[in-house]
Chain A
C-alpha cells in the first residue's frame, strides 16, 4: 500500500510526459501505470502477472501491448520430400519481428476489430499488422503461409499472445472510468527491455498513447549460473561433468549392491 502511494507522484510525472496534445480528441484523464516495473527472475520464477491499469474517458476503449525488441530469426522450414515424407527442407530467415508480443484489448475494440478487420491493421495493432511488418526471403506465393506459421510457432512458445476482451473496466466516475489488464508474463520471456504500450481508442482512432519500459533480468542463482556459463564456459563444463560424476558415485554408494555381493 505504501509503495502504491510512492508511485502516485511518479505516475503523474510520467503521465504528463505521455500526454500527446496533438492527438485529436485526447482526454486529459488518460493515465496509466503498470506493476511491477522490473521483473526479477529468481530460482523459482514460473511466469508472473503484470498489472496494467489507469483511467480513460468513459466512452473509450483500451488496448495494452507488451512488446519486445525487433529481432531476426532463422527457422527450419518443413516440407514434403518425395511427396510423402515430412522433414526439414531448408530454412527461412525472418526479419523485423518482435521477440515478445502480448496483446490485451477491451471488449468494444475487439468487436470493432472483428467487424472491420482492417481497422486493427490500420492502427498498427495485432497479428495481422505483425504479418505486414515482417520480412522474409521466400517466394511471394509462400510468404503469407510462412508468416502464419511463424505466428503459430511463437504462440506455441507462449511468446505471442492475443487476449481480446480481457481488459476490464471499473465503475464510471463522471467522464472517466478505470481499466485494468492482468498481463500474463510467461516464464519463457527472454531477458531484456520491453515496452508497455497503452492506447486509448475512440471510434477507431487512437486518442491517447502511453509508452513505458519494463525490464526483465535474472537475479540470484539463475544469474550466477548464466554468468558462469557464459563468462567461464570451460570451467562450467568441467564443473557440470564433475557434479554429474559425483552424483553417479553417490547414488551407487547408497543404492548400489555392495562390491562382491553382486559379482558373478
Chain B
C-alpha cells in the first residue's frame, strides 16, 4: 500500500515517506534559502535510490520548491532580482569553469580527498564564523549603546571598484563586478564540490555583499531556481537520470513545505535566522566528519551522488 514504482530509479518507494521528506526539505529551503540537496540526496540513497538518480531528481524537485519559495518571499519583498540575475550570470560562468577545473584535479589524482577536506573545513569555518557573529549581535542588542562601526579595509576596497550601482531591495550600493565575481567563485566551488551551492552562496551574500538576511533568503531561492532548471534539463538530456515520479512526489511535499518555511522565516529576526543556519551548517559538517571517520559498512559503493 502507498507504494509507487519509480521507472528511472528502478525501485519502488513509500509515497508518504517521500512526501514527508519533500515537506521537511521544503521547509528548510523556505526558511534558509538553501536547496536542501545536502539532506535529500543522502536520504534518497539510503532508501535505495541510485546516487546519480537521487541527485538529478532532487534538482528537479528543487525547481518546484524554489518556485514556491521565491514567490512567497517575493510577496514579502525579499527578492532582489537585479542582484540575483548578476549572481546567476557569474554562477553559470563559474559552474562551466568549475567542471573543467575538476577534470584537471581528477587527472592529478587524489582530487576527491582534497575536495572533501576542503568542503568540511569550509563548512566548519563558515558555520563557526556565522554562529559566533550572530550570537554576538544577538547579545549586543540587549545593550542599547551601539558602537559606530569604522569603515573596514574591505569596505574601502569594494567602495573603490568601478561601476557602482544601487541595489534597492538589498539597500546596498556596490560595483556590478562584486556579484559577478562572487557568483563565479560560488559557481566554481559548487561545481567542484558537486553541491548546489546554497550553503556557500548564503554566507557570501550576507558577509561579502552585505545584504540583509531576509533578502538573502529570497534572492538565494530565486537563483537556485534557475540553477536547478538548468541541471534538470541537462541531466535529463545527457544522462537520463531524472526520475519524474520521484521528483513529483518530492515536490508536492516541498512546494507546500517552502510556503510554510517562508512564513516561519518572516517571523524570525535576521540574526536568529543566521544563528539557526549556522547551526545547520555545523551539523552538516559534523555529519560529514563522522562519515569520514567511521568505518563504512560496505567497502564498495555505486558511482555518483555527492
Q: Which residues of A contact B (CB under 8 A)?
A: 41-47, 74-79, 81, 84-89, 91-92, 145-146, 149-150, 152-153, 156-158, 187-191, 218, 221-223, 225-226, 229-230, 233-234, 236-241, 243-245, 247-252, 255-264
Contact = CB atoms under 8 A, between A and B. Distances in A.
B76 A234 contact: no
Given A241-B63, A252-B259, A156 B244 contact: no
A240 B244 contact: yes
Given A44-B5, A190-B10, A229-B244, A240 B300 contact: no
B299 A188 contact: no
Contacts of B256: 251, 255
B229 A241 contact: yes
Given A43-B4, A241-B229, A241-B233, A236 B300 contact: no
Given A236-B244, A244-B247, A46 B113 contact: no
Nearest to A218: B7
B8 A243 contact: no
B158 interface: no
Contact of A157 (B48, B236, B255): B48
B234 to A, nearest CB: 8
Contacts of B69: 248
A54 B16 CA distance: 40
B12 A47 contact: yes
A252 to B, nearest CB: 4
Interface of A is mostly: mixed
A251 B301 CA distance: 37
A128 to B, nearest CB: 18
Contacts of B299: 77-79, 145-146, 149
Interface in B103-140: 110, 112-113, 116-117
B240 interface: yes
A173 to B, nearest CB: 40
Contact of B259 (A145, A237, A256, A264): A256
A157 B6 CA distance: 15
B293 A187 contact: no
A6 B220 CA distance: 64
Contact of B63 (A248, A255, A262): A248
Given A42-B5, A43-B5, A86-B293, A248 B255 contact: yes
Interface string B1-45: 001111110111000000000000000000000000000000000
B138 to A, nearest CB: 21
A78 B297 CA distance: 10
B4 A44 contact: yes
Which 4 interchain pairs have the tightest Cβ spacing? A248-B67, A237-B236, A222-B7, A244-B64
B302 interface: yes
B252 interface: yes
Contacts of B252: 247
Given A41-B5, A257-B263, 5 more contacts: A76-B303, A156-B297, A187-B11, A247-B64, A248-B64
Contacts of B219: none
B229 A257 contact: no
Interface string B176-207: 00000000000000000000000000000000
The interface centre, meaning the residue of A156, A256, A261 with most chain B CB atoms within 10 A of its CB, is A256
A41 to B, nearest CB: 6
Nearest to B66: A248
29 contacts: A43-B5, A76-B301, A88-B112, A150-B300, A188-B10, A188-B11, A191-B10, A221-B7, A222-B6, A229-B236, A233-B236, A234-B233, A237-B232, A237-B236, A240-B60, A241-B60, A241-B232, A247-B67, A247-B68, A247-B255, A248-B67, A252-B71, A256-B71, A256-B75, A256-B259, A257-B72, A258-B75, A259-B75, A263-B77
Nearest to A226: B7
A263 B60 CA distance: 29
Contacts of B7: 41, 218, 221-223, 225-226, 229
Interface in B72-121: 72, 75-77, 110, 112-113, 116-117
Contact of B300 (A149, A226, A234): A149
Nearest to A222: B7
Nearest to B233: A237
A188 to B, nearest CB: 5
A114 B263 CA distance: 62
